[in-house]
Structure 1
Amino acid sequence: MSRPAPAVIAFTRLLIPSLLVLSGCTSISQGIWVSQDRYASLAASDYFGDSALSVVHPEQNWSAADSLWFYNTTQGSTLLPYDVFLHLETADSPALFRSDDHMNRLRYLPQKASFSNPDGLPLGWVKDEHQGKAYIGLTCAACHTGQINYRGTAIRIDGAPPLADMELMMTRLAAALDASAKDAAKFDRLAQKLGISTQPEVRSQFRADLQQWADKLDRYNTINASTHGAQYVAYGYGRLDAFGRIYNRILTHLTPGQTNRNPANAPISYPQLWDTPQHDHVQWNGIGDNAGDGPLKRNAGEALGVFATYSLQQHPGDPGFRSSIDVRNLVRMENHLKSLWSPRWEDLARQQVLPAIDQTLADQGRQVYLDYQCHTCHQDIDRTDRTRRITARFSSLALIGTDPTMARNALQYQGKSGWFEGRPAKWGNPDAPPFKEQTRVLPALSFATAGAIAEPDHDKSPVRRWLEKIYDLFASIGHRPYDNTERHLDFEIIDKDNPVGFLAYKARPLNGIWATAPYLHNGSVPSLYELLLPSCSDTEIAQGKRCRPNRFTLGSREFDPDKVGFVQRDAGQYPGLFVFDTHLPGNANTGHEYAAGITPVIKRDSQGKPLKDAQGKPLVYYLPPISETQRLALVEYLKTL
């Protein structure tokens, strides 16, 4: 496609913002000419042996413009001054931090320059503005767009989990800022690129500003250290303790200058986004209720966690808490996601991108799927049904047996109430019991997000901010998927306010599951094939027992279509690959071992209700371990979903 003349581009840049005010159109916001490859920038080779010479996007009911809107729409993230980030060098070289090579090594997805991304930032990294200043920020897409490579083709999947290592990125970003403040040559190059005056006092102030940002990010990294006692456990590629970090952002804003934190030590796989608006409960532990204004609160909490600027000290006369979050875009984003479909393997097989599915074997696998009652937890849905609604089925920690760290932290973490102490603990309910000196972080997060939503956008004029607030309120109400929800735990409906309901993990529909490796909520199993094996000791593995691996590598995007996961590469041959060790705290690969005959199945009556013993505990039984033939058949069937 030929590039339009510069004069036409300039005119378009003036015209489109005016049209957007009137229409809010997704497509036109990305420019009149949109590349069908979504401006993906590919690497012929990289550190981990991967290569991709072409890109495909599976059919997910989004046009190229829809995808680009998802990639480039801001939410109020203010990580770092924009111009500083644009020209910042890495700590150990003159290469730009934002260079394709460096960001690809961190496993963020490089992008070419486009109308809505003129500086060619990585996918999900955008220029945001707050109080007249420009910042680099992250969008939802940075953590929810994936890529798998197969035989030279990159498959970019909207809403899929990425391999991004945010922990490593933040550590390197702090180091880069510190180096630019302290290294004379780096400082001079950055100052020159930014046009900083050569006057000593101006240079001195700029150096102090750089150091201040470096120290701020270093404090963030220290506060969110992934420690279990004295032991540090790195997240690695494709994982993040989002709850732990959001919680700590809330606690530190409640008590500025004080130590008020918990270890962010429960990293989980980034969840896929398709069907999220249609769920009754979201997040791995279902702590996000989609009833009422739940979706808006959930997204506001995410924005507060991902580097929004905000204060939890309420200004006199303000209805809520001032922040940089863009409520309008959060509402639009949730509505945008309603149209997203999961990817289908068969579509890519028809394009000869992935191998064809063995339908005879897949049919055999479907029978295994039914025999082993997978459908009783993992709801079967039509991904294209606009009216689809998904009832989440939860399994208690004691029965499912997967690593409990994330669910326990999310429910049990506490901290000082700070600014909230003495205030009614439910926003808008003056009769609610007040916050005490100490609080669980979950209700504090809920209070903070409600307050941030209630406050109009101070980046806009008073009239516009109130008009938009009213519009957003009605828009969020009009698009609520659920008026009420129920919590289903171990095949029973329980009181939603009962904390035991959060000590559980959710089973979601498995459509598109093939595109979401590694598996289990904490990413502790590398492939679908190995998910159907038992967890074992190192001794059992050494003796030749077929088991889930206790150590495997992450970082390569090369896809294994047989096991359905990422190809395993040697960390000695490719330094920088992350070695996932399931022996470490929070990394256990146990649980969900129904196919291995280890995880118990609840006995139920003819109406599907659980049968219980005299103490009220569910009666359970065990399924026989599946054979290798059944395992291969089941993996083949899962490809069809």
Structure 2
Amino acid sequence: MKFLKTCLNSLWGLISFPFTGWKNLVFFLLSLPAVFALFLLGVFLSGGANPFLYQTEKDRDGPARVHETDIVYLEQGWDFAYRQKYYFTAQGSHIIPLDMALALESPSSEQLIFGADGTAVNKFGYLPYPSTDQNNDNMELGLNPMGLPVGFVEDIDRKGNSMLGINCAGCHASNMKIADRTVRIDGGAALGDFMGLVGEIDTALIVTMNNPEKRARYAVRRGIELDEAYAELEVASVERQAWQRRNRTEFPHGYSRVDAFGIIFNQVVARDMHLDTRGRHGNVQTPKAPASYPVLWDTPFMGRVQWSGGSNNLIGTDPLARNIGQVLGVFGGVEVTVQNSLPGYCSTPKRKNLELYNFWLQTLKSPKWDDPALKGILPDLDPELVTRGELIYNGKVPGDERRGTEACSSCHGVISDAWRNKEREDKQVCDVPISMVSHDTVKTDRELVDTARRQGALTGLLAGQKSQIKSGETLRARESYMLVLAEVIKGSFAGAYLSASCDGDVSPANLIATANTFGYFAKKAKQDKKQKEADKQKQSRALTSGGFALSPEDIERSRTHLTDARDILNYAEDHVDIPDASVELARANEMLALSNLERAYNNQGIAQHIAGVEPENPQLFRLDFETAQTNLARAKEIIARQNPEDGFSATAGFLDAANLKTAELNFQQAQDNMTPKPATKSMECRPTDIYSSFAYKARPLNGIWASAPYLHNGSVPTLYDILLPPADLKGNCRTDECRPSQFYVGSTQFDPVKIGFETEKTPNSSLLDTTLPGNRNSGHLFRQDLSHEDRMALIEYLKSL
């Protein structure tokens, strides 16, 4: 064991090799047989094989296709083999033992939850899929022998137990009913009721345990005695009821939505950190930011992902770290401890499978309205309307040119069909343009960004430990929830490469694979350090170029000017013998000083922006739009009040006119800086400050026609409605048409005119009330001036993307 411990500790030391020298390598070499040592040295010197490119040709090509005659599949880049792997590959999610799940009846009937006709499909809207017994072609893959819905899988835990799990497809695949045909949207926003289904499972455990007839039928299905059935139901219900207590909501979030951040925080920052209570001594918070599921096409090629843009996607390890967090949030687990002899935490996420998911998504394309499979199912596009809509989208209608946020393209860039149809090898991260739009600009419901920025999480046993995220800093007793989550994910990420420490796998193959991975990371760490130095030099050049008033001395001079100007103004206002014009001159001087200070901060922010780093004063970088607007109005008022007979009028008028011009320029600059622009490659690929971001991500709208309902919280049912203003909280509409204040979600029947799903009440639907916090349909009030005809033209263009 001493040999093993020395070997593994030396392996871990390799990752810090560029910074600690040759010591770790020497100890490591001495602890291994000569052949393995020489192999490892070769791996290390070559930088190691990239662990994210290990897929075989079999993984890429897949076996023969499987045919399903009742589903219309689109040309989204996947064949049936890829599709089924995406649907049924485990990722490390453990809800309850699979045998128990398959034997559970609905609490209110004898219908099985996961049977062929189960409530998971018929009541909660998840997608049915034939088992291998029902579809002989499917047997070649050996996937889904139990006929589970899409996205539900058999997931084997570390002890070899077969568990019911959920994967990416459970939340990111959907069906839409167009006339009498069912169309599959791979990577689309799921319409299932996640919280409802989980509640059904958890209630069924208790009801079955306490209802003799249900328990008897359950025991027969399981092939066990009644007492044994009672015992296993009781054990399972303890954990499941704890989950329900953590994640109870103030109102049902319903179909097509879940508060992902809230649930992940409760699972990881509360439960896995052993702080599973509410109040002063725990980290449990009520989930109150329901979000629609984002579509997944093109995400591997964006610099940032998630609705808040709070997750980086820049280097090979970013997608894996993000997906580890996702697994931990949906019934995964991690053992957070500071007692490990090796770095990293043991956790359930399946690293290799998560890497495969990222690989598969690189080949996924957005659905097209004019897909050949939809010919005769959807109406043909109108070329003239598409052309008119494109002009509106880009703000280029002759005689009505638009700038800033009045043009859709200022936030939502456009990717070409040529790029869409490229092979994955020819696409790169950051090819897809995104914009981070401040909440002050878009003004949609703020609960999600508030949740993402939540402060005050207890750090528990991590308090006083060195941060793995913020280099050189020590974790305090309380930090932001996002930082604590990132710390745990980082530990889980490291543990994912140390299966020897978690599972006891000490086979030569596993040790070689671990060394191979660390060789890659050692090389990457060296490259990252070099890049940081280059970024520092770039920032330094940007901060001293372009004529910007950027130095601390410049800002301090501006502050002093403002203080002096205010002193003069106060003196002038307090002495009645001073002419009014002089008072006005002093007031103008104060405004000029204020403008100069704002401009200094703004220029500093611009330079930092050019340098590719977060501005030190992001709120001042944007400029206070309202202050600039007020200054402009005051300057105009001053000039209007000038008395031509006053001896000071000429001088005062001239200076005030100059000040007016300054105010106008500052106002325009404020307007420009508050206006989101299509992201440049350097902007969208900057590392994201995930701890303070107060913005929503705007992505290209290709495939938007197939991803209703709209806005991040799914509070607007159709594309047509998004172009209307919302009613007030009492339901009063001040225009001819408004967004609906209430509508039902759950139908998959597609509306090809307004572009969305039907909103009438059905037996399996939920009411979405937009007057409730988290459900607000406010904001995104762009192009409210469009006529009905122009709205339809814009929608026609959006359908064509």
The aligned amino acid for 1:379 is G
1:295 pairs, out of 316, 319, 326, with 319
| Residue 55 (structure 2) pairs with residue 25 (structure 1) | no
2:131 pairs, out of 103, 113, 123, with 113
Work out the CA distance in 2 between the residues paired with 1:414 and 1:73. Answer: 36
Q: Which residue of 2 aligns with 1:375?
A: 409
Larger % of helix: which? 2
Question: 1:14-413, aligned counterparts within 5 Å?
Answer: 23=56, 25-26=58-59, 32-37=63-68, 54-99=70-115, 100-104=117-121, 105-114=123-132, 115-130=142-157, 131-196=159-224, 198=225, 203-226=226-249, 232-250=250-268, 251-255=270-274, 258=277, 259-292=282-315, 293-348=317-372, 351-371=375-395, 372-381=406-415, 382-385=419-422, 386-387=426-427, 389-413=431-455
Q: Which residue of 1 aligns with 2:665?
A: none
Call closer, same or farther: CA 1:540–1:74 in 2, change over 3 Å: closer
Work out the CA distance in 2 between the residues paired with 1:88 and 1:478. Answer: 51
**Helix, strand or coil: the match of 1:169?**
helix
Work out the CA distance in 2 between the residues paired with 1:57 and 1:520. Answer: 26
- Structure showing greater Rg: 2
Whether the 8 Å CA contact 1:70–1:141 is kept in 2: the answer is yes
The aligned amino acid for 2:483 is P
Call closer, same or farther: CA 1:315–1:134 in 2, change over 3 Å: farther
1:591 pairs, out of 764, 769, 779, with 779
Work out the CA distance in 1 between the residues paired with 2:747 and 2:161. Answer: 37
How big is the shift at 1:225?
1.9
How big is the shift at 1:535?
1.1
Whether the 8 Å CA contact 1:487–1:501 is kept in 2: the answer is no
How big is the shift at 1:208?
2.7
How big is the shift at 1:86?
1.3
Q: Which residue of 1 aligns with 2:749?
A: 558
**Helix, strand or coil: the match of 2:302?**
coil
Work out the CA distance in 2 between the residues paired with 1:150 and 1:83. Answer: 36
Work out the CA distance in 2 between the residues paired with 1:404 and 1:581. Answer: 16
The aligned amino acid for 1:151 is A
Whether the 8 Å CA contact 1:233–1:585 is kept in 2: the answer is no
Q: Which residue of 2 aligns with 1:447?
A: 487
Q: Deviations over 1:307-351 (max 9, x none)?
A: 113211245323211112111111121121111100100115753
Q: Which residue of 2 aligns with 1:461?
A: 505
| Residue 769 (structure 2) pairs with residue 581 (structure 1) | yes
How big is the shift at 1:472?
5.9
**Helix, strand or coil: the match of 2:301?**
coil
Call closer, same or farther: CA 1:327–1:212 in 2, change over 3 Å: same
Q: Which runs of 5+ in 1 are unaligned?
A: 1-20, 41-53, 227-231, 597-624
* Bigger shift: residues 55-64 or 353-362: 353-362
How big is the shift at 1:191?
1.9
Q: Deviations over 1:232-290 (max 9, x none)?
A: 22211100111110011112211255442111110100000001110000001100011
| Residue 797 (structure 2) pairs with residue 637 (structure 1) | yes
The aligned amino acid for 1:98 is F
Question: 1:419-458, aligned counterparts within 5 Å?
Answer: 419-426=461-468, 432-455=472-495, 456-457=498-499, 458=502
Work out the CA distance in 2 between the residues paired with 1:522 and 1:291. Answer: 26
Work out the CA distance in 1 between the residues paired with 2:332 and 2:303. Answer: 27
Work out the CA distance in 2 between the residues paired with 1:209 and 1:350. Answer: 49
**Helix, strand or coil: the match of 1:178?**
helix
Normalising by structure 1, what TM-score? 0.82
Work out the CA distance in 2 between the residues paired with 1:470 and 1:510. Answer: 42
Whether the 8 Å CA contact 1:348–1:354 is kept in 2: the answer is no
Q: Deviations over 1:566-599 (max 9, x none)?
A: 0122x2xx33421111000111111111111xxx
**Helix, strand or coil: the match of 2:781?**
coil
Work out the CA distance in 2 between the residues paired with 1:72 and 1:583. Answer: 38
Call closer, same or farther: CA 1:547–1:187 in 2, change over 3 Å: same
**Helix, strand or coil: the match of 2:185?**
strand
**Helix, strand or coil: the match of 2:715?**
coil
Whether the 8 Å CA contact 1:79–1:307 is kept in 2: the answer is yes
The aligned amino acid for 2:309 is G
Work out the CA distance in 1 between the residues paired with 2:695 and 2:55. Answer: 45
Work out the CA distance in 2 between the residues paired with 1:126 and 1:267. Answer: 25
Whether the 8 Å CA contact 2:131–2:148 is kept in 1: the answer is yes
The aligned amino acid for 2:769 is D
The aligned amino acid for 1:442 is M
Work out the CA distance in 1 between the residues paired with 2:774 and 2:275. Answer: 29
Call closer, same or farther: CA 1:185–1:476 in 2, change over 3 Å: farther
Whether the 8 Å CA contact 2:275–2:284 is kept in 1: the answer is no
Indicate the structure whose relative CO is greater, using CA pairs within 8 Å and at least 6 residues apart: 2
The aligned amino acid for 1:461 is D
Question: 1:603-614, aligned counterparts within 5 Å?
Answer: none
Larger % of strand: which? 1
Call closer, same or farther: CA 1:406–1:538 in 2, change over 3 Å: closer
How big is the shift at 1:432?
2.6
**Helix, strand or coil: the match of 2:111?**
coil
Whether the 8 Å CA contact 2:452–2:482 is kept in 1: the answer is yes
How big is the shift at 1:136?
0.6
The aligned amino acid for 2:252 is A
Work out the CA distance in 2 between the residues paired with 1:244 and 1:333. Answer: 24
The aligned amino acid for 2:745 is L
Work out the CA distance in 1 between the residues paired with 2:189 and 2:176. Answer: 10
Work out the CA distance in 2 between the residues paired with 1:414 and 1:69. Answer: 40
| Residue 459 (structure 2) pairs with residue 417 (structure 1) | yes
Call closer, same or farther: CA 1:590–1:257 in 2, change over 3 Å: closer
- TM-align CA RMSD: 2.8
The aligned amino acid for 2:241 is D
Call closer, same or farther: CA 1:576–1:527 in 2, change over 3 Å: same
**Helix, strand or coil: the match of 2:394?**
helix
Call closer, same or farther: CA 1:299–1:400 in 2, change over 3 Å: same
Call closer, same or farther: CA 1:298–1:416 in 2, change over 3 Å: same
Call closer, same or farther: CA 1:634–1:98 in 2, change over 3 Å: same
Work out the CA distance in 2 between the residues paired with 1:478 and 1:177. Answer: 50
Whether the 8 Å CA contact 1:314–1:322 is kept in 2: the answer is no
How big is the shift at 1:113?
0.6
Q: Which residue of 1 aligns with 2:398?
A: none
How big is the shift at 1:179?
1.2
How big is the shift at 1:414?
3.3
The aligned amino acid for 2:748 is R
Call closer, same or farther: CA 1:169–1:575 in 2, change over 3 Å: same
Call closer, same or farther: CA 1:589–1:77 in 2, change over 3 Å: same
Work out the CA distance in 2 between the residues paired with 1:28 and 1:639. Answer: 31
Whether the 8 Å CA contact 1:239–1:269 is kept in 2: the answer is yes
Aligned-pair identity in percent equals: 31
Q: Deviations over 1:165-194 (max 9, x none)?
A: 111111111101111211112222222222
